[in-house]
Amino acid sequence: MTRTDRYANYRQLADRETEGRDYRRVLQPVTRSTIAIIAPHAGGIEPRTSGISRALARDTINLYLFEGIKPKGNRHLHITSRNFDEPACLGLIAGCDTVIAIHGCKAEDECIFLGGLDSRLKQEFASALDHARFRVETEGHKFIAVDADNICNRGRSGAGVQVEISGPLRRGKNIHVLIEAMRSVLMNKGERYNNALHSQPRLPGRIKTGAH
């Protein structure tokens, strides 16, 4: 729990806030997808992360949103990532190898900070975003997300990626470029998984023997 968080976990929040009036949970499971896009601080908590997450997931990747929908004061619905334990989210990512958590951060220019324990995917995102001419940082910042309890690292593999996107970039005209760059990485990852799955040798069927 950070100094500014009102709630230490989901149960505390649910006891005080009303679903459908103060917050909304969105769950979009996709059969055969092993990737999840989640935004635990969506809606009015970290504005525009809902739309970005939806655009990344579309109808091919698992999606979870925890959205603040109050007229004002949505910041009070923020549960820090290492304490975020909403059951539907945990249930979804338990069946996913890769979790990408989309966040909004405060910065004066258009930039992205990448964290999480999936070093390979983090570097693939960094390369794609750098190629798209974004300022992207993977180390030396405060959003490193290396805690095993961070929600991005609680998928099946124990390693995911946290993506912190600055306000000017979330609000700017280049956000669609970021989305396409990241989605291309995710589609390549999904294709690699499917190819590996299909290339596995088939195990011989069990031989049935007659009674003796």
Output the domain CATH number for residue 149: 3.40.630.100
Q: What is the pLDDT of residue 190?
A: 66
Higher pLDDT, 112 or 4: 112
Q: What is the pLDDT of residue 203?
A: 46
In a domain, 210, yes or no: no
| Residues above pLDDT 90, as percent of the chain | 85
In a domain, 170, yes or no: yes
Contact 155, 36 (CB under 8 A): yes
In a domain, 140, yes or no: yes
In a domain, 97, yes or no: yes
* Torsion angle, alpha carbons of 122, 165, 136, 64, to 10: 10
pLDDT at 84 over 60: yes
In a domain, 149, yes or no: yes
User: How many domains is the chain partitioned into structurally?
Assistant: 1
In a domain, 152, yes or no: yes
Higher pLDDT, 192 or 124: 124
- The Cα 62–Cα 33 span in angstroms is 6
Q: What is the pLDDT of residue 189?
A: 79
Which domain, by its residues, includes 82? Answer: 10-193
Poorest-pLDDT segment among 38-42, 98-102, 116-120, 207-211: 207-211
In a domain, 76, yes or no: yes
The verdict on pTM exceeding 0.95 is no
In a domain, 128, yes or no: yes
